[in-house]
Structure 1
Amino acid sequence: MSLTIRRAKLERLRLGNAPRVLELCSGCGGMSLGLHAAGFELVGHVENDPVAAESYALNFSSPEGVDRERWALPRDMVECSAADLAADLDLAEASGAFDVLAAGLPCQAFARIGRSKLRSVTGDDDAFRNDPRAKLYRRFLEYVEAVQPIAMIIENVPDILNFGGHNIPEEICETLDALGYETSYTLLNAAFYGVPQMRERLFLIAYDRSLGLRPTFPDPTHAAELPSGYEGARTVALKYIPSEGSHFHPIPAPGTDLPGAVAVRAALSDLPFISEHFRDPRTMRRRKLTEQLPYRTNNDLSAYARRMREWEGFATRRSTDGHLVRLTPRDFAIFRRMRVGADYPRALQIAEEIFSERLAEHHPRPRKGSRAWEEIRKSCVPPYDPGKFPNKWWKLEPTSPSRTLTAHLGKDSYSHIHWDSRQQRMISVREAARLQSFPDGFRFAGAMNAGFRQIGNAVPPLLALAIGRHLRGELGQALMRDRRDNREQNEAA
């Protein structure tokens, strides 16, 4: 029965129809945006965060016959089955409705930073093992059996390769082998694919075995020198790759003749100059995420900035939205004095210098430990331990790609301080979106922190576009070869 279902889908693609995608844990739609730009049809999505689901509906039209309200509904992939979703979207049946199944499964239980947070909240060293999100890949496999896709894409953090000593992608591949698929997984860094961010992620691709394909991955389009920390993280993540019979595909390496990675300055320089947070904080407090501000310049745009402005279906002309930043007056002077590339230990040194200067302004000088002394110190010096939070603050280097954006960006956005000291601030929501390769016309529902969270959780659209184009290319070649073989067999008969 499953072979009959998949053959019908392959025949549909042979006739030139676009592959139909169902994305699980879609978030606001970073992967969907890239796949759509690569020629895929977005037929269904499942996302349990109401704000992210609303963003998805804001940016992607609902299928014919499905009203926007149903399209924007948050759905939990555990509670909502493939059959439930198909019925809700007026599709005949789940098994015939979708050709491609994609998922950016939640990474909190797998990522080391997420494991640390779970440990601190629960006091349990093994809390990550018991987190329900760590088992969602099994629910994904249930969707596979219900949907019978001809291709699949899974994205997650590299640490999913070493989940307490267990290689989960290898387990997924072994299960998919038994279901009639050919599978591969590898690590891809977004900076190698035109994204101005050094973001390392695991990707798994699977194809129906009848296609005769072993999945491969797109070649890099840009070259970048990754910091040593990334190589160390790779080594840890790859520790549990089986020595024999592995489904791991060698990590694609950039060639020597490729253009350099897109740098932060090229990505952000045309966006508005923001100073309201220290000049007129009331204006910043009143500003909405949807409020439009004019571009800083329309001349001498980088190729990347032009691409973010002109993305088909999301093009902008004179202005864009998302120009919100956090209001923390204590830290503006520290931002101004930090050099590019400086981190929290240096920021703390600067704060101590500012504190000493403020004390010297008072006559008589407050006694150490007095209430006045404590109040002045609190207004100047952040309370974080530099031993525990060495990377909590970081000032962007304009000539390099950014560090990884995280889902905690709304709370820990000092990890991305704007390099322009005159602006003395962290990045805005729109600047975070640019670093994640969301086009300027892409809209985010909710307030500032929700916008940051959606962006940090997303798959970079440009990376998803590279994967989508590669997947379509491999499918197209296999279908063409199959047509040719069938024609030759008919002629021989």
Structure 2
Amino acid sequence: MPSNFGIVDLFAGPGGLGEGFASLVEDGHIPFRIGISVEKEASAHKTLTLRAFLREYLARHGALPTQYIDFHADGVLEPNWSEVDAPAWQHAIDEAHALELGTEAAKTTIDLAIEKLRASCDDTVLIGGPPCQAYSLVGRARSRGKVGYVPEEDARHYLFREYIRVLDKLRPAAFVMENVKGMLSSTVESRLVFEMLMEDLSSLGTGRGHQYELRAIRVADGIATLQEASKPSDFIVRAEMFGVPQRRHRVVIVGIRADLANKAPSAKIRVSKPVRTVNDVIGTMPSLRSGISRGMDDTAAWRREVIDAAGLLVRVHAGMEDEPLREAFSLIAGRMLEEVPRSRTGSDLPVNYGASSDELMRWLERPELRAIAQHATRGHMVSDLGRYLFAAVFGTVRGFSPKAADFPFALSPEHRNWHSGIFNDRFRVQLAGEAATTITSHISKDGHYFIHPDPLQCRSLTVREAARLQTFPDDYLFMGNRTQQYVQVGNAVPPFLARQIAELVSASIAR
């Protein structure tokens, strides 16, 4: 009989890591089933609960409920899911919990779930990762600017200890811990956080027979394996090597319980085709225009502003020798008269949707859907439209995103340090023919780092485009307002990557 593993998912966010594990099917068998997932942020918890409901409904009925397909397409009135399928909804409530790790309420709930999993599964697996803000380089820089901020008193630095507590209580067959690269250099009390973490993990279970061998995921010639690490950077996983259309580099530590570790050295999987691009996954999405955040916002007004910006760029480059760039601006100005996208929302399914033989597209596209959801643009300041246009054209012509020094003086924002190098990457276009840069929660702020590659659309990425670059399937809905949706997408583990990590873990521990 194939093994059944119960999953404990901590710091789950919208469920990217759990989705990858729960979606793995091997010879008709589902080896991983989520027993409990924990996320304290309210909108992410709603996303997590709805996804848990859909998984259970699919297991019971073999198809998505029509009520969900309608809600996904229209997004107007959310059904009462308990009326759609009461047992499935109760299962979702029992699985997804809105709790803050480290509290007594969380401890009690998790410990009860652990006892249930032990009774119902062959073994367990722990997944997740502490919040990244206190570890990330940007997060640490922001924290240093706070009056009275003391790193040693920031509870986020120690949230990994709650992960350790659960790990010690659960004693799973394996665990997967994910975090940002910044944790490799983050320090508290003059000690490296990563060093402290590795000491805790290495000493776990000493004298009690459940120590863990710590492994790093390595990819060579399209094959992923679990290897011993010789240095901290060995634990960095590059998502683009797994067919994710994004240069997302994260620390992933895999621990295999000592009594099962004999299979780990020989475990291997073939990873998905690498070098996937932005255009591969969002190139067929409905074309949209951005909005104007201040003043009149309609297609005519937007087009006038963009044509004016293109005209300005033509004039600015008139005396320069960069003929390809000047011609590109002239071409865009002409095409804007006829080809401009008219809508700020687009739900039409792309041509041949759901019929691709490509592995990644089969993962993203769900044939039962009748619309694309959460594909709507936000408004931008008129002055930023010119910068977005310049960046998109520059990226198309030059093959890289412009730095601050590349922007014409006429487009300089009113920042005192614009030309100092501090704002060098203030505006960044995603290149159509390359993998995206890392999708982060900062996309919820203004979109300047996530400019769409098509100059005719002159905008930042939508929630759905960001979700596709993160490899969330199209039937995955993010609850909450748009800002909360962007944050959830940016903070998540790409599910397509997570599924391949799950496959590698399964190869290491399945009996």
TM-score, L = length of structure 2: 0.69
- CA gap of 1:18–1:163, structure 2 versus 1, over 3 A, is same
Which of 10, 13, 16 aligns to 1:30? It is 16
- The Cα of 1:84 is off from its aligned counterpart by 2.1
CA contact (8 A) 2:441 2:486 kept: yes
- Do residues 203 (structure 1) and 252 (structure 2) align? yes
Q: Does 1:455 align with 2:489?
A: yes
Letter aligned with residue 46 of structure 2: E
Letter in 2 for 1:55: T
3-state SS, counterpart of residue 182 of structure 2: helix
Shift of 1:475: 1.3
Instruction: Tell me: CA distance 1:218–1:269, structure 2 relative to 1, closer, same or farther (3 Å).
Output: farther
The reply on whether 1:191 has 2:240 as its aligned counterpart is yes
CA contact (8 A) 1:31 1:458 kept: yes
Residue 74 of structure 2 corresponds to none
Is 2:360 the counterpart of 1:332?
no
Q: 1:150 Cα deviation (Å)?
A: 1.6
Cα offsets for 1:208-242 (capped at 9, x unmatched) = 211143746866736xxxxxxxxxxxxxxxxxxxx
Give the equivalent residue in structure 1 for 2:448. 414
Q: Aligned ranges for residues 23-62 of structure 1 at < 5 Å?
A: 23-38=9-24, 39=30, 40-61=32-53
Other-structure match for 2:284? 270
Instruction: Tell me: CA distance 1:429–1:159, structure 2 relative to 1, closer, same or farther (3 Å).
Output: same
Residues 12-68 of structure 1, C-alpha deviation per residue, up to 9 Å, x if partnerless?
A: xxx424211010000000001100112310110111111101101111228768355
Following the alignment from structure 2 to structure 1, what is the Cα–Cα distance between the partners of residues 453 and 357? Answer: 18
Other-structure match for 2:139 = 114
What is the match of residue 150 of structure 1?
Answer: 173
Q: Percent identity?
A: 23
| SS of equivalent residue, structure 1 residue 319 | coil
* From 212, 221, 224, the counterpart of 2:271: 221
Report if the CA contact (8 A) 2:269-2:503 is conserved: no
Q: Give the C-alpha shift of residue 385 in structure 1.
A: 3.3
Q: Write the distance in 2 (CA, Å) between the matches of 1:468 and 1:389.
A: 39
Question: How many angstroms apart in 2 are the aligned matches of 1:272 and 1:93?
Answer: 46
Query: Given the alignment, which residue of 101, 121, 140 partners 2:163?
Result: 140
The corresponding residue for 2:332 is none
CA contact (8 A) 1:22 1:42 kept: yes
In the alignment, does 2:356 pair up with 1:323? no
Unpaired segments of 5 or more residues in structure 1? 1-14, 223-258, 284-290, 356-379, 480-493
Q: Which ranges of structure 2 fall in alignment gaps of 5 or more residues?
A: 25-29, 57-86, 217-234, 300-344
- Provide, for residues 411-469 of structure 1, a one-character-per-residue CA deviation record: whole Å limited to 9, x for no partner: 15211100100000111111100111111110000111111110111011111111100
Q: How many positions carry a matched residue from both structures?
A: 388
> What is the aligned-residue RMSD (CA, Å)?
3.0
The correspondence for 1:345, drawn from 404, 411, 415, is: 404
Tell me which moved more, 464-473 or 211-220: 211-220
**Structure 2 CA distance, aligned partners of 1:392 and 1:130?**
32
1:261 aligns with 2:271: no
CA contact (8 A) 1:267 1:304 kept: no
**Quick one: distance in 2 between partners of 1:390 and 1:220?**
39
* Distance in 2 separating the partners of 1:324 and 1:463: 27
1:436-455 map, 5 Å: 436-455=470-489
- 1:264 and 1:402 in contact (8 A); partners too: yes
Shift of 1:149: 1.4
Q: Which aligned pairs between 1:80-479 and structure 2 lie closer than 5 A?
A: 80-85=105-110, 87=112, 93=116, 96=119, 99-122=124-147, 124=149, 127-164=150-187, 165-166=191-192, 167-176=195-204, 178=206, 179-185=210-216, 186-213=235-262, 215=264, 221=271, 259-275=273-289, 277-278=291-292, 281=297, 293-298=347-352, 303=358, 306-310=361-365, 316-338=369-391, 339-340=394-395, 341-346=400-405, 349-350=407-408, 352-354=409-411, 381=414, 385-386=418-419, 387-476=421-510, 479=511
